[in-house]
Chains A and B, each alone.
Chain A
Amino acid sequence: MAESAGALAASFFLTWLIFNRLLPFRIMPLAFFVIWFVLFLPIYWFVIKDGQGATAAKDRLATAFVIAGAMFTFVPIVTVVAYVLFRGLKSLRPNFFTETMQVVGPLAKATEGGAIHSIIGTLEQLALATIIAVPLGVLTAVYLSEIKGPLARPVRLVADAMTALPSIVAGLFIFSLFIKPHIFTQSGLLGAFALSILMLPTVTITAEQVLRVVPGSLREAALALGAPYWRSVLMVVLPTARAGLSTAVILGMARVVGETAPVLMTTGGTTALNTNPFSGFQDNLPLFVFAQIRSSQDSQVDRGWTGALILLVVVLLLFILARVIGSAKPGQRRFRIPVPGRGRRRSGR
């Protein structure tokens, strides 16, 4: 510990000397950290080698590399989250959750106006997309893992390929299918269609992996009781995989909740509150951020950051929910729906 701290300090001051006293010009601050790390390694090596020998020095050097690598990946994530928090919290007021942007002009302060129309739009579109994509995805997963029909291979291939589908293509697809030929105008429902296209492969692939780990002995046990195959899937396989399936659903939701491109082409976007997703333009959080952050007014940009913060919180909540449900032990009915009359038997005896 003392050795690494000493080596870090020595290399820091050496780097400072090079940058501020020796170099005739200034260069990027990032270079400071690179030189610091590069100088740290040999200093650390010599310190350890002097005290504990070459083997220990190699070991410590490898440790230093691994830790540096971990920090290299971890720092950007933390920075992004911290920066969004920093920018977003500045103009977050309670009215952000109660007001719309309908009567807020471009010169209004960042704390005026709100995004309730976008939040409601996001929730409704996400709910509709889930209602469309989850039954399809789970049924496809059942086909892939339980029925194993002749189409299983091509279907799995398509599902895998669909995970890489550019999200703008999903938006374009719905746009050219419904909006361009004037069948429907932009609405929350069309946005949900586009989102469900993106959600489907995620739900399918995750659900299939979940169903595959259900032990075959449970299927056999159900069949040996005289169950038709569909009942054994419906009453044994799916309930056993319940926790994993919930995770699959929520992962799918988290995948699409932040998508901008598909809703950009399909929901229209608006500054007024529209709670009906089936008709009229609707806004949602990514669109809100997109609209605000493009402005040349600093107040609007700040409002955009607040929208981004709320979006980040929604995604975070979805992932936490997925982890909580996913870790529920089988049989431990943490999210049990109360069945009428179930308690009767226990109290009767």
Chain B
Amino acid sequence: MTAPELDHTRPMPQQEATPGPMGGVLEGVDVSCWFGARKVLEGVNIKMDAGVVTALIGPSGCGKSTFLRTLNRMHELVPIASLAGSVLLDGHDIYGVGLRLTEVRRRIGMVFQKPNPFPAMTIADNVAAGLKLTGKKVSDRDGLIETSLRRAGLWNEVRNRLDAPAGGLSGGQQQRLCIARSLAVSPDILLMDEPCSALDPTSTRRIEETIHELKDQVTIIIVTHNMQQAQRVSQHCAFFLAAENEPGRVVEQGPTEQIFSDPHDPRTADYVNGRFG
């Protein structure tokens, strides 16, 4: 295993002094996707930089979730799915021979639309599940659990009931637990697939705060339907659109501010101003 040692001594956000952005650079090069014979995504080129939160926006069925799932090879779990183009993690193709599938998924974590903590495990076991599942041992398991929960902004709420079943947490807490679980394996990238769509406004705000605190430590890519959320959390933004019976394409991408205030493409302007989608 050529995996780097798990770095759980990483400083906590509030203690950090002028850090450079950590995390990796992810780049999709000419990515196209098919489900069976149906092409759902065509020629997507996006560079997702470290220290920058990239938001993928667009109406339903435009392929943004599919694109997100190609970034950590979850796309290929669908038996009929296929893919063209390449995805580069710090310059190495994640679909190439140099990187193992499990290593790719460990370095590129994912948080799903619906909170999915493991119901058969306690809160602490959930956080440490990634270690067990990847067969890694750490000396300071408790320390890692605390660090991960702190980074996900959940520590203070669950510190006294780490041995309670994870199913007893509220939806928002479960989602932050899932974030903590993803962070515990020290990913370079964190993909978030509409992480707030099943949550109430307060929980949404907590998740967004968490994203703000994390963005210097891991590269975050977030799919969202909520345009205000994209404006609040992201610095880079890509707008996906699929015309009828055509694959999805990136219509426009750039700094979030420019996309929302001064879009070049009239379709982007229509979408961000809520005229369709």
Residue numbers of A with Cβ under 8 A of B are 215, 217-218, 220-228, 231-232, 235-236, 239-240, 242, 329-333, 342, 345-346, 348-349
Contacts and interface: CB of A to CB of B under 8 A. Distances in A.
Nearest to B163: A346
Contacts of A349: 159-160, 162
A235 B106 contact: no
B102 A221 contact: no
B109 A235 contact: no
A224 B74 contact: yes
Contacts, number: 101
Contact of A223 (B77, B124, B135, B178): B77
B59 interface: no
B116 A228 contact: no
Q: What is the interface of chain A mostly: helix, strand, loop, or mixed?
A: helix
A207 to B, nearest CB: 16
B74 A220 contact: yes
Contacts of B117: 221
Interface stretch (B18-26, B86-94, B164-172, B238-246): B164-172
Contacts of B74: 220, 223-224
Nearest to A238: B120
Interface residue tally on B, bucketed by range: 35 or more
Nearest to B111: A224
Contacts of A239: 118, 120-121
B130 interface: yes
Nearest to B104: A226
Given A226-B105, A330-B119, A330-B120, A220 B129 contact: no
B264 interface: no
B155 to A, nearest CB: 11
Contacts of B114: 217
Given A220-B77, A221-B178, A240-B118, A331 B163 contact: no
Nearest to A243: B120
A225 B118 contact: no
Nearest to A343: B163
B118 A227 contact: no
Contacts of B110: 224
A331 B161 CA distance: 13
B133 A235 contact: yes
12 contacts: A221-B178, A224-B72, A226-B104, A226-B134, A227-B130, A227-B133, A231-B132, A236-B120, A239-B121, A240-B118, A240-B119, A346-B162
B133 A330 contact: no
B116 A221 contact: yes
A220 B135 CA distance: 17
A331 B168 contact: yes
A4 B204 CA distance: 61
Contacts of A348: 142
B124 A217 contact: no
A226 B185 contact: yes
Contact of A331 (B77, B102, B119, B182): B119
